[in-house]
């Protein structure tokens, strides 16, 4: 597989071409580098001098420990590199600078720049990256999943409650070995010691689990402390380093979790991978393991399912059922890791981060690290981060026609913003070495090469490899614009970003004019693409391709328009909210207004059926559909899950309570449930609830109930409340439905 031909560019993949590196860790005055070769792991230590970048070495006047000073070329802010004999001395210097300057390294205008991860420092300065020369399948991965008991009278397991012991630990490694450590045969201390032995025996490069940080590892750690068991999981025999309140930001969400770092290994949470996938695809109903496994079709047909409330009873009465369930959990987890972890494995070959850190770093931060690595290699000063922002208009979006239109063609500009940056030579003003555009051009060239290699592949594994590689390059290419406009990065340039979006708007408007001149009718315009009704003379795909070719040929060189899709019909609801029906009958829905995950399932299903009827010219049957749903809501035996709402906590319950006290936010049903629960909730947790009480105008936060508390023998669902929500939803679609007859129509 000619992967090396794509990876032989130092600017992107680093200058150290050593193969088989799976981890880099601190080791006193050295760094310890772990290699995987011939199925086993060995290490060697290299001397390394950790560093801090400063604007003036005089800042360290009065510091008692020695350091070497390297003057970097250029006059940018960080033009001195202070090098220390050990990590401990580097940390002491950081603390000295923080005390002297009264600012942290991350503060805007800080006169020093410190990277808090020694491994990242080593990777930055040496051009080393992990996993070169390794296939994903060569990494040793261990998936882990635990089940826990729950004392009588409680709804949730609590690791601080003595009775709530770990009752099962399922393990499965990437070589096919699987086992269950059974709580009916081992005491909890024996279970934990057996887990230690299993990790030593497997010697995994990666430990993975679904929600492993916030549940499995957290629970294991607390039970181990309770019993005085040492979890010597590190490759040097050390215990995990735990950061109790780590935070991970994704899109507009902050997720709090207890982070574990295990020496020589990487911990990958598939719960994180699932959310990263969903940010781009927006098609998951839930982030729970079972729902996600079904979505990705990795759930076995004979998979064992157990309700969480039945786990303790199953352990007592039918432990074999519990162990089958636990093993199915860990099988699905490993399958998800193999599916969703691969693109991040490929990115770890590029960026100077560990596998674990590459997953949680944002796109702009990862791009920034490429600049830092090359600037340090060339011995050049680095500009300071700035909070300077420029308010600028975004991409051009417009809905020109609401309702159902048929047929529809979608054209878009391939990587619009990166293409504009290359075509018009738009780069950050502070990129003195001029790396931005060559790096972007290399990425685009590599993506095209990888796409071609995927087409020419002689086997399915080879095709999958190159397809995943080109998708990674696509993400990176499109991240360059985001980096340009992001504040707080060393080479960002909001002024240049504003010019890119201006040219983007000009390009799209030019395309609209060209389409109209051809007799086409634009329907929906969204930043880099246009949905339009083709002109009457278009008799099929060939004519549509010819039309797109003429549009592309009329644009500046380097701006290429592609036919991205053909559809039988399109329903446009509002800007960025639409449904498309392919010629095969399948329907694709885009936009939170038509498929919000936060909406109750019965409303989502009603809306999906309504949209399907609109697309198929059956709007006259919507009233009958509405009446059917009303009947289902009023029927006996209503499934609470059908009307329940699931929300993700965007802050901690304690923060919510304080903001409520200060009048800084409104009441929330999900947070009220979290505050009254018998377990600890963190930012990023999901809460499912239904509304009880009576009356259509009941306040949800006053009458909310956790789904687990619902008693089907004594149902207390507020039917009028849910009927009213359905009526209000239908009302939003009335402009697209047949009008009811009035006296004036008779």
Residue 100 belongs to a domain with what CATH number? 3.30.342
291 and 203 in a single domain? The answer is yes
- The answer as to whether 247 is a domain residue is yes
| C-alpha 643: how far from chain center | 27
Paired with 256 in beta bridges are 247
Nearest-angstrom CA–CA distance, 24 and 266: 11
Nearest-angstrom CA–CA distance, 345 and 468: 10
Paired with 46 in beta bridges are 31
Alpha carbons within 13 A on the beta-carbon side of 218: 21
Structure tokens at 484: 């340009």
270 and 214 in a single domain? The answer is yes
Secondary structure of 631-659 in HEC code, one letter for each residue = HHHHCCCCCHHHHCEEEECCCCHHHHHHH
Residue 315 belongs to a domain with what CATH number? 3.30.420.10
| pLDDT above 80 (res 318) | yes
Task: Give one word for 126, left, alpha or beta, with left for phi > 0 and alpha for psi -120 to 50.
Answer: alpha
Q: Is 472 helix (H, G, I), strand (E, B) or coil?
A: helix
Paired with 579 in beta bridges are 571, 589
* pLDDT number for residue 386: 75
**Helix H or strand E segment including 211:** none
Q: How confident is the model at residue 170 (pLDDT cuts 50, 70, 90)?
A: very high
564 and 633 in a single domain? The answer is no
Q: How confident is the model at residue 530 (pLDDT cuts 50, 70, 90)?
A: very high
Nearest-angstrom CA–CA distance, 211 and 148: 14
Average pLDDT of the segment spanning 694-709: 94
Paired with 80 in beta bridges are 54, 71
- The answer as to whether 313 is a domain residue is yes
Q: Which has the closest alpha carbon to 672: 660, 663, 717?
A: 660
| pLDDT above 50 (res 278) | yes
Q: Which has the closest alpha carbon to 686: 271, 375, 80?
A: 271
Determine what percent of the chain is predicted with pLDDT higher than 70.
Answer: 98
C-alpha dihedral over 420, 14, 467, 5, to 10 degrees? 100
Per-residue CA distances from 742 to 412, 484, 618, 738, 745 (Å): 45, 57, 21, 12, 5
Average pLDDT of the segment spanning 257-276: 97
337 and 396 in a single domain? The answer is no
pLDDT digits 0-9 by tens, 99-116? 999 999 988 889 999 999
Nearest-angstrom CA–CA distance, 363 and 374: 18
343, 332 contact by CB (below 8 A)? no
pLDDT digits 0-9 by tens, 574-596? 999 999 999 999 999 988 888 88
Structure tokens at 355: 């596998």
Nearest-angstrom CA–CA distance, 121 and 107: 19
- The answer as to whether 448 is a domain residue is no
| C-alpha 470: how far from chain center | 18
368 and 397 in a single domain? The answer is no
Residue 709 belongs to a domain with what CATH number? 1.10.132.60
* pLDDT number for residue 339: 92
Residue 505 belongs to a domain with what CATH number? 3.90.1600.10
Helix intervals (H) in 564-648: 592-595, 601-615, 622-634, 640-643
Nearest-angstrom CA–CA distance, 236 and 30: 14
Angle at 163 between CA 161 and CA 164, to 5 degrees: 70
509 and 644 in a single domain? The answer is no
Paired with 590 in beta bridges are 578
20, 447 contact by CB (below 8 A)? no
592 and 609 in a single domain? The answer is no
437, 425 contact by CB (below 8 A)? yes
pLDDT digits 0-9 by tens, 402-442? 999 999 999 999 889 999 999 999 999 999 999 999 999 98
The sign of the torsion formed by the CA atoms of 225, 230, 231, 236 equals positive
pLDDT digits 0-9 by tens, 350-361? 999 999 999 999
DSSP string of 165-209, one letter each residue: -EEEEEEEETTS-EEEEETTTS-HHHHHHHHHHHHHHH--SEEEE
pLDDT digits 0-9 by tens, 592-622? 888 887 789 999 999 999 999 999 999 999 9
Secondary structure of 473-499 in HEC code, one letter for each residue = HHHHHHHHHHHHHCCCCCCCCHHHHHH
Paired with 587 in beta bridges are 581
* pLDDT number for residue 662: 96
C-alpha dihedral over 124, 130, 132, 136, to 10 degrees? -150
654 and 585 in a single domain? The answer is no
Nearest-angstrom CA–CA distance, 271 and 294: 15
606 and 581 in a single domain? The answer is no
Q: Which residues contact 213 (CB under 8 A, 6 or more apart)?
A: 257, 258, 259, 260, 267, 269, 271
- The answer as to whether 710 is a domain residue is yes
Q: How confident is the model at residue 744 (pLDDT cuts 50, 70, 90)?
A: very low
Nearest-angstrom CA–CA distance, 682 and 237: 31
* pLDDT number for residue 1: 40
Q: How confident is the model at residue 390 (pLDDT cuts 50, 70, 90)?
A: low
- The answer as to whether 463 is a domain residue is no
Alpha carbons within 13 A on the beta-carbon side of 175: 10
User: Whole domain around residue 7: which residue ranges?
Assistant: 3-131+364-377
DSSP string of 364-419, one letter each residue: HHHHHHHHHHHHHHTTB-BPPP-----------EEE---EEESSEEEEEETTHHHH
Average pLDDT of the segment spanning 689-693: 95
Structure tokens at 194: 């057996």
Helices 363-377, 118-126: axis angle to 10 degrees equals 50
**Helix H or strand E segment including 684:** none
Sheet holding 408-413, edge to edge: 397-399, 521-526, 529-533, 408-413, 561-567
Q: How confident is the model at residue 464 (pLDDT cuts 50, 70, 90)?
A: confident
Angle at 728 between CA 725 and CA 734, to 5 degrees: 145
* pLDDT number for residue 8: 79
- The answer as to whether 20 is a domain residue is yes
- The answer as to whether 457 is a domain residue is no
* pLDDT number for residue 299: 94
Nearest-angstrom CA–CA distance, 14 and 387: 29
147 and 273 in a single domain? The answer is yes
Q: How confident is the model at residue 743 (pLDDT cuts 50, 70, 90)?
A: very low
Residue with tokens 């059917």: 628
Domain count, the chain: 4
Nearest-angstrom CA–CA distance, 735 and 404: 12
Q: How many helices (DSSP H) and strands (DSSP E) are in the chain?
A: 26, 26
725 and 685 in a single domain? The answer is yes
29, 47 contact by CB (below 8 A)? yes
Q: Is 255 helix (H, G, I), strand (E, B) or coil?
A: strand
* pLDDT number for residue 129: 98
- Residue ending a domain, among 596, 628, 643, is 596
Q: Which has the closest alpha carbon to 347: 421, 268, 426?
A: 268
Q: What is the pTM of this model?
A: 0.90
Mean pLDDT across the chain = 93
Q: Which residues contact 259 (CB under 8 A, 6 or more apart)?
A: 213, 242, 243, 246
Q: How confident is the model at residue 742 (pLDDT cuts 50, 70, 90)?
A: very low
Q: Is 326 helix (H, G, I), strand (E, B) or coil?
A: helix
pLDDT digits 0-9 by tens, 239-253? 999 999 999 988 778
Residue with tokens 């080393």: 128
161 and 310 in a single domain? The answer is yes
- The answer as to whether 449 is a domain residue is no
């Amino acid at each position: 597989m000619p992967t090396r031909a794509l990876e032989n560019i130092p600017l992107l993949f680093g200058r150290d071409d050593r193969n088989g590196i799976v981890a880099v860790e601190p080791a006193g005055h050295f760094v310890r580098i772990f290699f995987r070769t011939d199925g086993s792991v060995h290490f060697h230590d290299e001397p390394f001098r950790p560093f801090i970048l400063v604007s003036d070495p005089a800042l360290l006047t009065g510091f008692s420990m020695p350091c070497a000073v390297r003057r970097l070329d250029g006059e940018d802010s960080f033009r001195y590199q202070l090098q220390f004999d050990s990590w401990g001395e580097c940390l002491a210097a950081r603390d000295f600078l923080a005390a002297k300057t009264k600012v942290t390294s991350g503060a805007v205008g800080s006169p020093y720049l410190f990277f808090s991860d020694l491994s990242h420092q080593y990777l930055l300065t040496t051009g080393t990256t992990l996993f070169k020369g390794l296939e994903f399948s060569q990494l040793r991965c261990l998936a882990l999943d635990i089940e826990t008991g729950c004392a009588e009278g409680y709804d949730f397991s609590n690791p601080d409650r003595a009775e709530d012991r770990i009752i099962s630990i399922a393990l499965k490694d990437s070589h096919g070995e699987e086992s269950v450590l059974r709580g009916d045969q081992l005491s909890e201390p024996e279970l934990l010691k057996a887990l230690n032995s299993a990790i030593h025996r497997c010697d995994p490069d990666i430990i993975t689990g679904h929600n492993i940080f916030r549940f499995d590892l957290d629970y294991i750690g607390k039970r181990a402390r309770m019993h005085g068991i040492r979890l010597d999981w590190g490759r040097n025999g050390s215990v995990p380093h735990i950061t109790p309140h780590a935070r991970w930001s994704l899109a507009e969400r902050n997720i709090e979790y207890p982070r574990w770092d295990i020496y020589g290994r990487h911990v990958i949470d598939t719960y994180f991978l699932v959310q990263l996938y969903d940010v781009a695809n927006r098609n998951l109903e839930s982030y729970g393991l079972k729902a996600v496994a079904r979505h990705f079709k990795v759930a076995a047909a004979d998979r064992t399912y157990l309700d969480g409330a039945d786990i303790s009873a199953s352990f007592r009465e039918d432990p074999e059922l519990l162990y089958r369930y636990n093993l199915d959990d860990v099988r699905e987890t490993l399958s998800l890791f193999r599916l969703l972890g691969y693109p991040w494995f490929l990115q770890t070959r590029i960026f100077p981060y560990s596998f674990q850190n590459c997953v949680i770093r944002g796109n702009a931060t990862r791009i920034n690290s490429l600049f830092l690595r090359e600037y340090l290699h060339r011995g050049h000063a680095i500009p300071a981060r700035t909070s300077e922002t420029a308010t600028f208009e975004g991409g051009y979006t417009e809905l020109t026609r609401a309702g159902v239109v048929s047929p529809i063609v979608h054209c878009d500009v391939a990587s619009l913003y990166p293409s504009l940056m290359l075509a018009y030579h738009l780069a950050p003003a502070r990129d003195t070495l001029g790396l931005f555009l060559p790096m972007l051009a290399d990425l685009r060239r590599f993506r095209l090469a990888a796409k071609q290699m995927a087409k020419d592949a002689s086997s399915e594994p080879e095709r999958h490899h190159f397809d995943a590689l080109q998708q990674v390059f696509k993400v990176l290419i499109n991240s360059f614009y985001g980096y340009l406009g992001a504040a707080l990065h060393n080479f960002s340039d909001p002024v240049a970003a504003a010019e890119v979006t201006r040219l983007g708007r000009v390009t799209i408007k030019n395309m609209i004019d060209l389409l109209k001149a051809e007799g086409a009718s634009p329907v929906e315009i969204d930043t880099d693409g246009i949905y339009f009704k083709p002109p009457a003379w278009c008799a099929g795909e060939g004519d549509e391709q010819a039309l797109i070719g003429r549009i592309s040929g009329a644009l500046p060189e380097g701006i290429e328009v592609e036919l991205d899709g053909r559809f039988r019909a399109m329903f446009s609801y509002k800007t960025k909210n639409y449904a498309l029906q392919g010629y095969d009958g399948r329907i694709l829905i885009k936009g939170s207004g038509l498929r919000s995950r936060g909406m109750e399932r019965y409303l989502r299903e009603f809306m999906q059926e309504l949209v399907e009827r609109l697309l198929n010219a059956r709007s006259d049957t919507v009233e009958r559909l509405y009446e059917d749903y009303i009947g289902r809501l009023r029927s006996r035996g209503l499934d609470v899950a059908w009307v329940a709402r699931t929300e993700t906590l965007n802050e901690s319950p304690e923060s919510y309570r304080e903001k409520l006290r200060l009048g800084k936010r409104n009441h929330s049903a999900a947070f009220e449930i979290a505050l009254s629960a018998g377990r600890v909730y963190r930012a990023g947790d999901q809460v499912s609830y239904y509304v009880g009480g009576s009356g259509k105008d009941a306040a949800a936060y006053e009458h909310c109930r956790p789904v687990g508390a619902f008693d089907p023998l004594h149902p207390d669902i507020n039917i009028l409340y849910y009927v009213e929500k359905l009526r209000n939803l239908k009302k939003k679609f009335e402009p697209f439905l047949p009008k009811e007859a009035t006296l004036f129509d008779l």
